[in-house]
Amino acid sequence: MSIVDNIVNEFDIALKTLSNKKYGTDRPYPPEPAEKNSEELTQQEKKLSIQMMRVNLAGEVAAQALYRGQALVCKDPEIKKHLIEAGEEETDHLVWCKKRLDELDGKGSILNPIWYAGSFAIGAVFGNFGEKVSLGFVEETEKQVVAHIDKHLDKISPKDEHDRIVFAHQKNIFGQTVYKFYGIFTADHVKTDSVRHYFKRINTTIDLTKYF
């Protein structure tokens, strides 16, 4: 695509992301079916769950932008493909967070457009430093995301099973993303169900000196 086409395409993706019109991989919403729901939460617990999920949704918006920014400037076709695929798969998280916020009668942050623009710029900047820096940035980002989710799991009420299920699924997928980038694993959509996500090994070794 030409530069103009790329810009138009990125604007279209950004608008779909920010307006919650972007579709994921059609993986089922993890909490369904579930026996317990937010009706059992106290007002304080519900308020906290809304706050945590709002922050999580903002993080997912930023993650989408990071991947898009890096993919836009990436010169390695294989890594670029992985960046785009990872962004598409993690769109599921975006959809789940929005759905959970709706269930709680909560709203997303009005600052999401700023988070998207800033994260896109950061992704593009790091992507311009080359594939080694770009992959290292992805790895560190994923580690921080997992730590962030752990903190949320510690804070929210044990009664809020829906939030906990969404967070757990996100943590599971984030924890595997780095290995997928290195070409060792890929998602196993045949075995994956609404409770667990499986990955299958496609390579036994990989030449990491290509990147590090």
pLDDT digits (tens), the chain, 212 positions: 677 888 888 989 999 889 888 877 777 777 665 544 545 778 888 888 888 889 888 888 888 898 899 989 988 887 788 788 777 777 888 888 888 889 889 999 999 999 999 999 998 998 888 777 777 777 777 777 777 677 767 777 777 766 666 666 565 555 555 555 555 556 666 766 655 556 566 666 655 555 44
The reported pTM is 0.71
Q: Which of 66, 88, 87, 85 is nearest to 77 (CA)?
A: 85
Please give the torsion angle defined by the CA atoms of residues 13, 126, 186 and 19, in that order, rounded to the nearest 10 degrees. -20
Q: Which of 32, 173, 171, 195 is nearest to 103 (CA)?
A: 32
The structural domains of the chain, ordered by start, are 41-178 (1.20.1260.10)
Which pair of structure tokens corresponds to residue 147? 């730590």
Give the side-chain half-sphere CA count within 13 A for 1: 10
Assess contact for 126 and 137: CB atoms under 8 A: yes
